[in-house]
Structures are given as C-alpha cells and as structure tokens.
Amino acid sequence: NERQQFVERLSRNSGRDDENFFVMSAGDKVTSFVAQVIEKYDYNYYIVRAVELGEPGSEPTVIGNEVVAVNVAEPFLLQGNLPADTYIVMFKIGENYVFYSEV
C-alpha cells in the first residue's frame, strides 16, 4: 500500500526509535492529505485546512473547509505551540483528524 510505505519512510527518516501506529477495525480505512495549520484551537488541537500541492515552487491551493485536528506529538494536558502556517500530513481516522508534528 502506497500510504503505508510513505508512513514507513517517514518513520525511518525521523532518526528516532519511537514507534507510531494506528489500530483500525476490519474494513476501515485511513485517509491522508496535506494540510496547513491556521491557528491553535485549544491544548494540542488546531484549526487546519487541506491544501493541494501544485507545481514545484508554487503555493499550495486551499481546498475544503477548516477542521479541528489533534497533534498527537504534543502532550494532551498541556497547551500546544505549533506555529501557524506549518504544513502537515493529516489523517482522517473514523470521524477524527490527527497529525504528528514535533515543534
């Protein structure tokens, strides 16, 4: 699967020994796309919007509406500090949007 290979490459290139994975039920799927952080919502939750990548050197094009997503790289009980305009790879798992981006 192309998405699984992408996630494995990210894990290998991170230089860390941490292991990240999602547990999915049979028949479920994970949808992923590039997004831009708009602003912090609360704690480690952010308002983000999907973007479409174009030609190299061009600005990404905004697609879709803004959604709230959680950064699982930050503690759940502390205020996050990921800066606005950060580009991320976001996953939709069930009804939730999540991403992993260290500050």
| pLDDT, tens only, 14-46 | 555 554 555 555 566 667 889 999 999 999 999
pLDDT given at position 103: 79
Mean pLDDT of the chain: 82
Check: CB of residue 80 under 8 Å from CB of residue 46.
Answer: yes
Identify the CA nearest to 36 among candidates 53, 52, 48: 48
Identify the CA nearest to 101 among candidates 36, 30, 54, 8: 36
pLDDT given at position 3: 62
Whether the per-residue pLDDT at 2 is higher than 80: the answer is no
30 strand-pairing partners? 93
pLDDT given at position 9: 63
pTM: 0.70
Check: CB of residue 35 under 8 Å from CB of residue 69.
Answer: yes
